[in-house]
């Protein structure tokens, strides 16, 4: 019988689906809420998992703060076991041009950071200690690591949300910057929650390079070919993983007793490491937090 609930964003495919699969296999006390943009794909994922009695699909479009708000209200009204974990997993990478969310925020920043910020704020009062929040980041946030991606460029959260229309779009850099935002958010959230004093822990997770995941959907045809067929051969290299391997590691951070009480920590797979120098910048973290709060309140007021 399920006695505790975990919410996983983007759980209908890739890393999120593998995380859900591993949690269901590890412990039959967990009920999974698949927070997804497309409920039909979510239903197909539940069918693939084969445990419909321990899963619920709920619509949550991170590109719309109204949708996120509707999700948190629907979750509060649902007859579900107590909430003990939230996995902020969903993400995207817009390679070409500039796209915007329903709220007029640059899409990569809006989905990868702001939507999750709003989701966590809306679920905090529902969390029952001991509880965990895991934020999926990426090693690409760290300029000290060679990832083949451009270095992040955190100017201000307001500029990230509303980029200068005259400036050239750089989708890959916007992605790495959004991953820096994920780590800044995780650390600031941990500080706001008393660094575990309230019984809620926060960790950030780098799943590594996962060839075959959905992040390449906006690449060119050639880029998608390499991502799907060539990059998987690279799994012999450090921190290049299958979605199954990374999904198991993400699931462990969310529910494994071995990680109970661990907070304010950045993980590369199952190994705790230092994140980038900029990720420990508390001034940037506060700028991100305050701007995100203002953006969310402006829409939901």
pLDDT in tens, 139-151: 999 999 988 899 9
Total domain count for the chain?
1
pLDDT at 299: 75
pLDDT exceeds 60 at position 231:
no
Domain of 103, in residue numbers:
4-300
Task: Tell me whether strands 55-59 and 265-268 are parallel, antiparallel or unpaired.
Answer: unpaired
Active site annotation includes 229: no
Instruction: Provide the whole-model pTM.
Output: 0.91
In order, the DSSP letters of 164-207 are -TTSPP-HHHHHHHHHHHHHHHHHHHHHHTTTTTTSEEEEEEE-
pLDDT at 217: 53
Active-site residue, selected from the candidate residues 175, 187, 266, 267: 175
pLDDT at 230: 46
The domain spanning residue 101 has which CATH number?
3.40.50.720
Query: How far, in Å, CA of 150 to CA of 152, rounded?
Result: 7
Among 12-26, 227-241, 252-266, the minimum mean pLDDT is found in: 227-241
pLDDT exceeds 70 at position 222:
no
């Amino acid at each position: 019988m399920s006695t505790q609930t975990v919410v996983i964003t983007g759980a209908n495919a890739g890393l999120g689906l593998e995380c859900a699969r591993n949690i269901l296999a590890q412990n039959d006390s967990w009920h999974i809420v698949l927070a997804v943009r497309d409920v039909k794909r979510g239903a197909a994922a539940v069918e693939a998992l084969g445990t419909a009695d321990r899963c619920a699909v709920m619509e949550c479009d991170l590109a719309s703060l109204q949708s996120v708000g509707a999700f948190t209200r629907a979750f509060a009204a649902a007859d579900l076991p107590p909430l003990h974990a939230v996995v902020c997993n969903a993400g995207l990478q817009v390679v070409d041009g500039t796209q915007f969310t329903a709220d007029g925020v640059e899409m990569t920043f809006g989905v990868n950071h702001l939507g999750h910020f709003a989701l966590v704020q809306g679920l905090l009062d529902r969390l029952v200690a001991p509880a965990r929040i895991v934020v999926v980041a990426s090693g690409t946030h760290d300029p000290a690591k060679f990832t083949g991606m451009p270095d992040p460029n955190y100017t201000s959260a307001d500029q990230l949300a509303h980029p200068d229309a005259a400036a050239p779009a750089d989708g890959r850099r916007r992605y790495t910057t959004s991953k820096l935002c994920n780590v800044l958010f995780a650390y600031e959230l941990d500080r706001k929650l008393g660094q575990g004093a309230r019984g809620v822990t926060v960790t950030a997770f780098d799943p590594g390079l996962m060839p075959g995941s959905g992040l390449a959907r906006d690449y060119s045809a050639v880029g998608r070919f390499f991502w799907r067929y060539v990059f998987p051969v690279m799994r012999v290299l450090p921190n290049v993983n299958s979605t199954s391997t990374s999904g198991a590691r993400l699931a462990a951070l969310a529910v494994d007793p071995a990680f109970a009480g661990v907070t304010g920590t950045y993980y590369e797979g199952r190994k705790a490491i230092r994140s980038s120098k900029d990720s420990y910048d508390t001034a940037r973290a506060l700028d991100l937090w305050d701007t995100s709060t203002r953006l969310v309140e402006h829409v939901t007021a």
